[in-house]
Structure 1
Amino acid sequence: MRFEGYRVVVTGAGRGFGRSLAIALGRDGAEVYLSARDFQAAESVAEEVRHAGGRAHAFECDLADPESVREFATTVGEVADRIDVLVNNGAPYLDAGGFLEADDAQIAATIAAGATGTVLATKALLPLLLRSPRPDIVTMVSGCGEYGNHRSEAHEAFYAAKSAQAGFTEVLSKRLRPQGVRVIALYPPDFDDTDPLGPAWDAERADGDALTARSVADCVMFAIGQPRDCYIKSFYFEQA
């Protein structure tokens, strides 16, 4: 299996694309460390990974809470002496129907988890990454972080969080490259989140323009599976 021996942290893995990616990585040999705000959600996905033949560990982590992020990183360090890949996937989506309709708490939580949480999770887990001979940081930015993008129906606060992630990964890639850390950002538009354990996931992809979770996961696994002299900084996707 391609990722046998890899240790991969995936944040926001209790549902959606985080779940899909965790199962795909587990099936391909990686040992995955999953976080979600709700521990039971993370453990449920960890069980799915194990059922698919992979190894998985579940953790609770609220990316909007700095203390929770620190505790998450500390707990991961208690069960792993290194990690090879950090996937910054966790970021709550917000679509409140309009700028004024979202309350202050929703806006603050969206930016805190997506922007500040990504920075703090990376900072807290970097010492474990630096112990790896093949460290990669992958951030699921989304098209909302692409300059000039206005196509999504997401709330402005979600755009703000994703733009912050984009700026963070840009400078981080420059500053960590001398230490051998590859920093990879993905900017997909909204995509279909198919079930990684269902028949559609393994079936031949149909012709069409709809981006799928399988294809986005394949991009992640392609990038981290490349030789260390192959530095793929970003994936940009054409909007259908």
Structure 2
Amino acid sequence: MDQLTDNAILIIDDDQELCALLSDWLATEGFNLACAHDGASGLQMAVSGAFRVIILDVMLPGMNGLEVLRKLRQQCNTPLLMLSARGEPVDRILGLELGADDYLAKPCDPRELVARLRALLRRSQAAMPDSILQVGDVRLDTNSLMVWRADEPLSLTQSEAMILRALLEQPGQLIDRQTLSRQALGKSLGPYDRSMDMHLSNLRRKLGPHDDDRPRIQVLRGRGYLYSS
């Protein structure tokens, strides 16, 4: 695949039967799916810049999915959804900490997978007329989702950048957890979904505090979050 298209998806999974089934299903939904069946070749394809979204299995021969994700995030921020047959909480937490944007346990309902992919695509394509959003020394380009702090670039995942964007659009205003998830991640959170917590933890660590040591993102337990200017 030499040219990026709006719905170009890469799946990295060693289950070739599953890949064939998903290719057929996603084709009917307007997606163009390419497949890799091991971590090394999948990583090589993923960093090519030819795909809008990557679907990555945790269990892969050779280089496992978490190692692929770690290496991938050193080179690009393409939206990524992780799959795991085990569905263990530790896998979800590690995946989110390493920069996954979403997570599904296998076997998954293809309709839910399509809904998650469309949400990732909507978020990656979202743009504002004024592309630069700045609060204090933090600047975010809403088209590219690139972020700078005091003119130093920060490496954020798409989910982290979208959460930061939602907070920067309303500095000093409290946003409850569900509203922030719907605005930034395009989904409502289930009772045991910790994805928002993990993304916010990573984001706060990468942003660091203000010069006076105040946290940039304040967490009001049971109420929500706000960006302090």
TM-score range, shorter chain: 0.3 to 0.5
* TM-score of the pair, normalised by structure 1: 0.40
Higher helix share: 1
Higher strand share: 2
Which of the two has higher C-alpha Rg?
Answer: 2
